[in-house]
Amino acid sequence: MKRRKGVQRELDAIRAVRSNFVRRGFSTSVSWLDFLYTNIKEGNPSDYLQDWRDLVNAYENDIKRFGEFPLKIYKQINHIFAYIINEDINKFSALLEEAHPFFVDWRKTQENLIKISQITKEDIPSMEPTARYYLFCFTYLIAIEGSYENWIKILYYLLYNFRSGEINFNRVQKKSLRSIKRWMINHDVDNILFEAYENGHLRNAIAHAHFEYDEITKKMLFIDYYRGEETYKKELNLREFEDNLQTVFLIPDICTNMIMLLRILDVVRKLYL
């Protein structure tokens, strides 16, 4: 087993991931991170690659506690990353570097969403359903545009470069989510990643103010038009829409966690492989 001198940077990386996982309540993953941290710090002999695999399994078990749907989302995203890593991990790392602008946009969106949450979190329980619904509509639009869309484009960008030849970052930026969705579905990506997107119709209805709340039914009616023709009409109660919004949050969240787990793999590779 080969161990490089000067491991503080790698230990700091493990601590950063640990802090994030503690906030999210991933207790099983945190235990494995602590185990890995101690072994690396003390230079203990171990099968570190297997330790990393055990960490990934621990994360899956943590996700499983949140329900069947998050687990299905995780398995699909994990399948994409696992395929890419097995093909060429060095190429994967290089592509992530090129996609850095996507991550910058995503971080800005996260900062805005956090600020919205901090401003409204104490008031949400006392809000009237109408006010809560309009707040969630505004949040959905921000999350779709600045978080969900960026991550779907990152997944597409990675997959395309491994399965269909080369595509640069600028070309991906210009592509619509609908065209990306078609390509990904045709390349065996499960539609579960796109259900909350509603093929762009829900986003359009909100962005163009084609929605209204019915005080009697307690539902919001969303309508989308294309060239004057109605192409989408759907009623959602507050719980249904909130579930949709949570899915929009869930996909970028799991993608981010996967990148953190891959950062731990990078630590293991640098030190021992």
For residue range 59-99, list pLDDT tens digits in order. 999 999 999 999 999 999 999 999 999 999 889 988 888 88
| pTM to 2 decimal places | 0.87
Contacts 24+ apart (CB under 8 A), 50-56: 51/268, 52/261, 52/264, 52/265, 52/268, 55/29, 55/261, 55/264, 56/261
Evaluate whether 133 touches 220 at the Cβ level (below 8 Å): yes
Summarised one tens digit per residue, pLDDT across range 32-56 is 999 999 999 988 888 988 999 999 9
Nearest 5°: the CA angle 68, 177, 103 is: 80
Mean pLDDT over 224-232 rounds to 94
Closest C-alpha among 227, 83, 103, 94 to residue 159: 83
Query: Residue holding tokens 């953190």?
Result: 260
Handedness of CA 73, 150, 256, 123 (dihedral sign): negative
Is the distance from CB of 164 to CB of 180 less than 8 angstroms?
no
Q: Chain centroid to CA 257: how far? A: 8
* Average pLDDT of span 174-194: 93
Q: Six-digit token pair at 91?
A: 């190429």
State the pLDDT at residue 122.
63
